[in-house]
Amino acid sequence: MDLSPKTSTDISFEDFRTQILEDYKLAFSSRVCSLLGRKEVLTGKAKFGIFGDGKELPQLAMARSFRNGDFRSGYYRDQTFMMALGLLSPKEFFHGLYATADMTKEPMSAGRQMGGHFLTYSLNDDGSWKNLTEQKNSSSDISCTAGQMPRLLGLAQASKVYRNLKTLDATKFSDNGNEVAWGTIGNASTSEGLFFETINAGGVLQVPMVISIWDDGYGISVPAKYHTTKEDISKLLSGFQREEELQGYEIFKVKGWDYTALMHTYENAADIAREQHVPVIIHVTELTQPQGHSTSGSHERYKSTERLQWEKEYDCNARFRTWIVESGIATENELNLIEREIRISVRTAKKDAWSEFLAPHKVKKTELIRILGELAAQSVNKNIISKLKNDLIAIEEPVKKDLAVISRKALRYVIGEESEERTMLIDWVNQFLSSEQPKYSDHLYSEKENKATNIEAVLPTYGTASEKVDGRIILRDNFDKLFEKYPKALIFGEDTGTIGDVNQGLEGLQKKYGKIRVSDTGIREATIIGQGIGMALRGLRPIAEIQYLDYIFYAMAPLTDDLATMRYRTSGKQKAPVIVRTRGHRLEGIWHSGSQMGGLIHLLRGMYILAPRNMTQAAGFYNTLMKSDEPALIIESLNGYRRKERKPLNLGEFCTPIGVVETLRTGSDITLVSYGSTVRIVLRVAKELAEVGIEAEVIDAQTLLPFDINHDTVKSVQKTNRLLVIDEDVPGGCSAYLIHEIVERQKGYQYLDSPPQTLTSKAHRPAYGTDGDYFSKPNAEDIFDRVYAILHEARPSDFPKLR
């Protein structure tokens, strides 16, 4: 289908008629998919359904103005848009509904996300970039309302970067920044803070994005008057309207059932954003939602009789059909024939998708029935196993869970039996689980050769006259080398640009590299991360700075919902190698102590979490990550910027390995594990312990996700037979995670002569001031006393009771 913008003034009537009818076919086909999709959920074939019915016409208009190189960051009802671009077929739509775990059949997530979540492939099979300028692009959707907005900002900002940095090699990523980022959102979701933060930031940055607000008057069952001041989002946003002397947005308002007005509005919006590089908002009103919010509820329960009647009359597809007939473009009979053929086609697609979904399960079912029959014939529990076999036979349309449950239950009834048939069942179960589990678990991190954990360590080198400098100088000069080495690297955040960050780790770099590459932002953590995600999706190498770790929770939604899940939910088809830079640990006060690591570890699986003890280690992590293509959070030590460190000769080159611990002191009596600023205290205490005859081995965890992939910690425990983890986090936080890793995953339990212990901060957040820090977090005396108590319990004659 030709999607170039044409109007009735520059094409023949026959071409115009063909274009209109193609649009009607798409709109009608999408609607039939929605209607049949709901039925599939209600019959139990699918778990949940959320569809794009009622939004077909504006999505057709948006598709007609969408160009190669453009990006979508959208709402989970944009199925008509994807179909109009030829990126989603009805059969693929139903595979998404059934959660088929096969990317060749369900190309949007291989069943990892519910239907309605769309993407395009940015990567080749080897992990290299496709040419994004030669295809229409969609970043992977997420369910979280307004969660797509921060990412949209970064997608649009990438066009500004590529347009303004003329020396940048934009091959595969941009044509002089002419690309538009298209966002879509439901009217109720504009109540979210992420929406307003993005709107404000987009107006400040003046980036080419077009935001469509699909307004059907409701948010789930709640009418607009409870969501939006004045019940009208474009009225509410009118203060953002650009003026002659003041930058802002161009704002359009258009009815969602008016086909010609929609086409002209989207053409105008696209031209303004693409040519003038300014943001645009399109408020699409008078839309309907014929089936309600989702399959979890019927809209008859919360809409009045009058509203329901209005929705029938103003259904965009129905109005489009009437207009086509009244305009003489097609007759009722012609449209009836088109609709009949589409219904048949979509039903066939649904049937084929379900058959394809079931086919591999049925093959496995046949195999398992045969094995269970042979097993029953020789087992003392013949009757029970035969019943399991018959239960399986009775399941006409099995899913993988059915096969796993029955096969694993059968194994329980042949415990202790020795037979070839039992071995066959064990082999079948093992093979089935090993082949199926990765379909739901892989691609959490990169599986390519250049993954960060494969980057080999490169030690810092020093000369005989290497000077000792403040730690910030090492960071600053290392960043200088990285910006020189990687032209696509850029950094941004609060106070990052003009003053070179609050701790002067970027001093003078904006002056050297310009305001595009080293830039200040407003106080808006969520969209700082969104800038990083969007720009990384378009081939740039952003470093997004959150000023203090304590404030990262403002940015937690885009971090945990979007960035951390990006590679996983796309089954490795998209990547966003954002480096998040922040600082924390060992400062005073509830919101400047920065040690909430337990929460971050569990919320950010899919990212690396790195906690270097000094600035040399931190610089090495930046160098390692720039050689790879994965997202990470680096937490610099707040009290380390003015500490003296020897300045390496090979700045920008040395690499701190990811997933590798470092043994800083050897010992034979106990293994002490810590990270970040606390390591310095532990090392000092280790010297004091040696004075009373206790030799402690000190290990710096360095990277918390992943932790110790070489299992070096358990080798230490095997030698010392005792373990203490010292942590600034609250009880049960990061220390509990580290104990789990060492004792359970590394099987360190078998070498312990004393119970493994943790020493953490108090359950509260740290109080302010020197005394507050001392009585809130593990201090040197706490560490000494705890280690001494462990050795006293083990060897009381050697270490009499301390107090």
CA–CA separation, 207 vs 486, rounded Å? Answer: 24
- Burial (CB < 10 A; 0-12, 13-18, 19+), residue 672, is buried
Contact 426, 411 (CB under 8 A): yes
Query: Which residue shows structure tokens 């066009």?
Result: 159
- Burial (CB < 10 A; 0-12, 13-18, 19+), residue 11, is middle
Work out the number of other CB atoms within 10 angstroms of the CB of residue 343: 15
Contact 89, 349 (CB under 8 A): yes
Long-range contacts from 108-112, C-beta under 8 angstroms, 24+ separation: 109/140, 109/569, 109/570, 109/571, 110/439, 110/571, 111/439, 111/440, 112/440, 112/568, 112/569, 112/571
Catalytic residue among 95, 277, 283, 592: 592
Contact 44, 38 (CB under 8 A): no
Q: Is the peptide bond before 706 cis (omega within 30 degrees of 0)?
A: yes
By three-state DSSP, how is residue 647 classified? Answer: coil
Q: What distances in angstroms separate CA 194 from CA 8, 651, 767, one per listed residue?
A: 40, 38, 31
- Burial (CB < 10 A; 0-12, 13-18, 19+), residue 332, is exposed
Tokens of 735: 């220390």
Contact 103, 215 (CB under 8 A): no
Tokens of 677: 């600023």
Q: Is 592 a catalytic residue?
A: yes
CA–CA separation, 567 vs 561, rounded Å? Answer: 12
Q: What distances in angstroms separate CA 554 from CA 295, 408, 529, 550, one per listed residue?
A: 32, 44, 10, 9
CA–CA separation, 163 vs 540, rounded Å? Answer: 13
Long-range contacts from 716-721, C-beta under 8 angstroms, 24+ separation: 716/663, 716/671, 717/671, 717/742, 717/748, 717/751, 717/752, 718/748, 718/751, 719/668, 719/671, 720/667, 720/668, 720/669, 720/670, 720/671, 721/751, 721/752, 721/753, 721/754
Query: Which residue shows structure tokens 């050297």?
Result: 512
Q: Kindly give the residue spans of alpha helices, DSSP state H, lying in 118-192.
A: 148-164
Q: Could you give phi then psi for residue 228, rounded to 5 degrees? A: -130, 130
By three-state DSSP, how is residue 636 classified? Answer: strand
Active site residues: 592
